[in-house]
Amino acid sequence: MPLSTSEIPDCLIAGAGPTGLTLALELARRGKTVRIFDRSPGPRPVEQSRALGILPPSLVLLEPSGVTTRLLEAGLTIKEARVSRDALPRFAIEIAKGGGKFPFLLSLPQGQTERILIAALEEFGVEPEWNSEVSGLTDVGERPLLSVNQGGDVEEIPGRFVAGCDGVHSVVREKLGIAFEGDRFPATFSLADVVLKQPDPKGVAMVNAIAEGVVARLPLPDGSVRLIGSFPDVEQHPDVAPLIGSTGWKSDFSITFRHAVKLQKGRAFLAGDAAHVHSPVGGRGMNTGIGDAAWLAWLICEARQEEYEDYRLPVARMIISQTRAMTKIISRRTALRRFALDHILPLAMKFSFVQRRAAAQMLAHDMPHPDWID
């Protein structure tokens, strides 16, 4: 039986990753009705978390829903980054010098962030519908109809709005016929979650420039460390392997820089990795998805959803351009990079305005402040 107009959900969301969950939460807490579908049987295992850095703009956005308090309880604050070359200390960045309400990076595995978002969403009576694969989308101009396969039964579900938060291989984007333009970076990066024989100082991120590129060591709340290498199999590198006591999840990954040429078609929108993807340098991916979702929810509630693309496409372009430049720098060993690390940056970092700028960049203070939060 067709749904009466009052029974039609305000928003149908494809994908219950951090972007889709944030969108659902930000709409639900403002009284909108949502359904959120994910093809997976449940959230990703915590021990296979991709993102682990929550940046201050996300903490600001998630504060009204109460999520930030829970993230802060669960996460580990990173207050300093130490940079070395071939294990020789060169300079440190005091992250607190960047200022703001949350003057630190918060380390928390993505799987835990997702579970905190799910718990907050459930308090508004919304549960992600798992094992629900979105396979089609029609009539986006008038009354969008989403095809959802739940256990072999394909249902055509109407909604006032549809959001594709279904990741980099987005079906929603494909059904909307929106191009995903960009290119692949000619390098493979790697990550490994390890326990070090000799722990790093608490709350300190370490970055070491070596012949092959860069190895970063980011502390996790459970005392383990995320290694990220700008080359494959970081945990096997001869400079790194002797430091490791045990290795957990590890993965090699390629890097692409792409964004959807449009973020909206009719009453359907794209957000998160469905809309843009780039290198993890700077930890911007998940955070930008959370930003997209929070802005989209606000704009829908203000009946200003037509402005979504104007707000968020420039952000996606800026982050792609920044992360591309940073990825190039860390991937190549050049005489200039070596000179900068040995001489220019150690000297420059002695000036507090340079420290402040570097820290502000790490804290993503270049993100627009949300109009709805004081």
Ligand X SMILES: Cc1cc2nc3c(=O)[nH]c(=O)nc-3n(C[C@H](O)[C@H](O)[C@H](O)COP(=O)(O)OP(=O)(O)OC[C@H]3O[C@@H](n4cnc5c(N)ncnc54)[C@H](O)[C@@H]3O)c2cc1C
Tell the residue number behind the tokens 């982050």, with chain if given.
319
Cα dihedral 155/116/282/106 (nearest 10): 180
Q: Decide the pairing of beta strands 11-14 and 244-260.
A: unpaired
**Which residue's CB is nearer to ligand X, number 210 or number 281?**
281
Quote the least distance from Cβ 349 to ligand X, whole Å: 23
Q: Which is nearer to ligand X, 131 or 352 (CB)?
A: 131
Q: Which CB, 148 or 209, lies closer to ligand X?
A: 148
Residue 280 DSSP symbol:
S
Q: Any residues with CB less than 8 A from the CB of 350 and at least 6 apart, and which?
A: none
Shorter beta-carbon distance to ligand X: residue 249 or 346: 249
- At its nearest, how many Å lie between ligand X and the CB of residue 259? 12
Minimal distance, residue 4 CB to ligand X, in Å = 26
Nearer to ligand X, 138 or 352 (CB): 138
Q: How far is the CB of 141 from ligand X (least distance, A)?
A: 22
3-state helix, strand, coil in the chain (%, to 5): 35, 30, 35
Residue 289: HSE in the Cβ half-sphere, 13 Å Cα cutoff: 31
Rounded to whole angstroms, the Cα distance separating 201 from 360 reads 22
Instruction: Give the binding site for ligand X (CB under 6 A).
Output: 14-20, 37-40, 50-53, 110, 133-134, 165-167, 171, 191, 253, 272-273, 280, 283-287, 289
User: Is-contact 9 263, C-beta < 8 A?
Assistant: no
Report the interhelical angle of 110-122 vs 18-28 (nearest 10°).
20
110/355 with CB nearer ligand X? 110
Q: How far is the CB of 339 from ligand X (least distance, A)?
A: 29
Shortest distance (Å) from residue 295 CB to ligand X:
14
